[in-house]
Each structure stands twice: as structure tokens, then as C-alpha cells.
Amino acid sequence: MIRSQKSDRIIFIVGPTAVGKSAVAACLARKLDSEVVSCDSMQVYKGMRIISSYPDRKFLKAVRHRLISSVPANREYNVSRYRRQALREISRIRASGKVPVFSGGTGLYMSVLTDGIFKVKPISRKIRERLYRRAEIKGSSYLHKRLKKVDPEAAGRIHPNDTKRTIRALEVFEGAGKPISLLQKQRSGLRADYDVRIFCLNRERPELYRRIDSRVETMFRSGLLNEVKRLLRSGLSKTSCTALGIKEVKRHIDGEYDLEEAKRLLKLNTRRYAKRQLTWFRKDKGIIWINISEGEGHNVTADRIWKKLS
């Protein structure tokens, strides 16, 4: 085991889904004799092992992981709560003389840690509920057009189909009276006080898509159908129900299409999600890109990152 000499260092391993983040982060954390903190908005939920692709059990056994399977899937969870919990985990890990290694593909979760979160007074729940009802009736694109009028900068960063972030931007504007894009420029995060190193893993697009397709097939073989049935019976929060796979599998369960169509749609939607993830990370000029060759082992990639850290 090799301990980092940088006591103020915090490492992020990010990238698109199925690129291999969990394995590389675990290998790197083992080299650093450290721990991994999840930076994934769905892995935080309990009972979503298959659908959110928890790290392989061998990695969970070899390296301590935090903020995985810690919140009931029927309970609301948001970025503010994640930030508070993640900052506590950073303090605990650093108190033991170790370097926190974050791993995940949720760009917003990474951003609220590295760049901070804007402060705004609590916004009425009625505003959010009204916006969600409007989205159900008129669609996300209707709300996105409205966002373009009040906050064009935020609208330019948010995909028209991203209902959750569109509603968040609108509720902040209505509740705080200021554009969310303006408030975000007034925040401060880890980068101001620590040596933050962000590594974004990437692969050639055809290989990444092959890995996504393979993962989806493995998910179904591992019991995705039964996991989704169980989750639907126990109930899902407004956030957890947006996990990739819930909608596609539920529509199959409801008899709208067969299993092969559910697989096809999940593969397609996962590819689209991966593209959105890459678009998000490319906007961050402080990210170090790690292009992984086909057949390259996780330890090899971790070694490459270790050399850059050294």
C-alpha cells in the first residue's frame, strides 16, 4: 500500500456509465490505502443493486465504500443532503490520514462538492408540486421553454427532457426571485481549500456502447425484472423512480411490449445518458481525461492515474 504525500488531496474518478469507474476507483483506493465515496445519485438507495450497478462485491470487500445502499428507495433524497453527508465522509477519511477517492457519474453531485452549492431560503413545496403536475400534463419541453425565457443560461445547460433539473431551476427562480445560473456563480466548494484532482475515464464510442449493451444483458440475467417488481411494490420516491431501467421494465411488466423491447429501450436510453454525462464533464476545464484502451485492465488504468498523482 502507498500513502499519498498530499494531505489536502481529494480525488474524483468520474465518467460515463459502464466505462469502468467503480473498478478503477477501487484499485486506486487500494494503492492509496484509502476509501471510496460514491458520487452516484442512484447507488445511494437500498435495494437497487442491479439497476444502479453497485460496485462488484469483490471491490466492496477489498476497499471500504461509503454512501452506497444507505437510503430507502421510497424516501426522498436530494443533492443538498448528499453534499452534507459527503462532506462528513471527507472529514472522517481525512481524520484517519487517508485521501478520499470519489467514484461516480452524477455530474451534479460532483459539482456541488467541488464548486459548492448556492444558498437559498427554503422554497415552498407547493411550487415544486405544481411544476411537476404541469410537467405531467404538458411535458418537460413546455417547462423548458418557460425556463428559456427566465433563465436562458440555465436552459442552455439543461436538456429539454431533463424534467428534474428543469423544475429545480424554475422553482428556484419562482421561490428566490433570482435565476439559478446567477446563484450558482456565487458558490464556493472543495477546490477553494483542497488539492482536488478529477479524472474522467473515457473509451472509444463503439466500445463504450458495447459495454453498455453487455451490462444491460447482464442486468436482466442477474434478476433486474424481479428487482424492479419488488421496488415498485415497496414504493419509489420521485428521485429513485427516475433510475434508468424503472420505466423501461415497468412498461414491459404492464404488457406494453415484450422483454426484448425492454432491453432495446434500456440500451438506447443508457447510451443517451452516457452522452449527456460526457457533455457535462467536458464543460469542466479542470478535468484530466483518461482514455482507456480496449482490453486495458483496471489495475493498469489505476496505475496510470497514480503516476499522474505522483
101 shares its domain with 66: yes
- For residue 72, the tally of other CB atoms under 10 A from its CB is 16
- Containing H/E element for 85? helix 79-95
In 3D space, the residue among 105, 69, 307, 59 whose CA is nearest the CA of residue 200 turns out to be 105
Residues 6+ apart with CB under 8 A from 182: none
Domain boundary among 160, 184, 208: 184
Residues 6+ apart with CB under 8 A from 275: 16
Is 159 a domain residue? yes
In 3D space, the residue among 2, 29, 1 whose CA is nearest the CA of residue 13 turns out to be 29
In 3D space, the residue among 3, 56, 66, 1 whose CA is nearest the CA of residue 35 turns out to be 66
45 shares its domain with 26: yes
Cα separation, 191 vs 248, whole angstroms: 38
In 3D space, the residue among 164, 151, 310 whose CA is nearest the CA of residue 237 turns out to be 164
Confidence at residue 98, expressed as pLDDT on a 0 to 100 scale: 96
Confidence at residue 1, expressed as pLDDT on a 0 to 100 scale: 39
Tally of domains in the chain: 2
78 shares its domain with 208: yes
Full domain range(s) for residue 60: 9-117+190-309
158 shares its domain with 218: no
Domain boundary among 144, 159, 184: 184
Q: Tell me which DSSP letter residue 55 carries.
A: P
Cα separation, 256 vs 135, whole angstroms: 22
Is 4 a domain residue? no
Domain boundary among 134, 169, 184: 184
Secondary structure string (H, E, C) spanning 232-294: HHHCCCCCHHHCCCHHHHHHHHCCCCCHHHHHHHHHHHHHHHHHHHHHHHHCCCCEEEEECCC
Q: What is the pLDDT along the chain (310 residues), one digit of tens a residue?
A: 333 444 699 999 999 999 999 999 999 999 999 999 999 999 999 999 999 999 999 999 999 999 999 999 999 999 989 999 999 999 999 999 999 999 999 999 999 999 887 666 777 888 988 999 999 999 989 999 999 999 998 999 888 888 888 998 999 898 888 888 887 776 678 998 899 999 999 999 999 999 999 999 999 999 999 999 999 999 999 899 999 999 999 999 999 999 999 999 999 999 999 999 999 999 999 999 999 999 999 999 999 999 999 8
Q: Are 179 and 155 in contact (CB under 8 A)?
A: no
Q: pTM surpassing 0.85?
A: no
Q: Are 39 and 12 in contact (CB under 8 A)?
A: yes
155 shares its domain with 284: no
CATH code, domain with 148? 1.10.20.140
Q: Any idea which residue has 419488488 for its cell?
A: 230
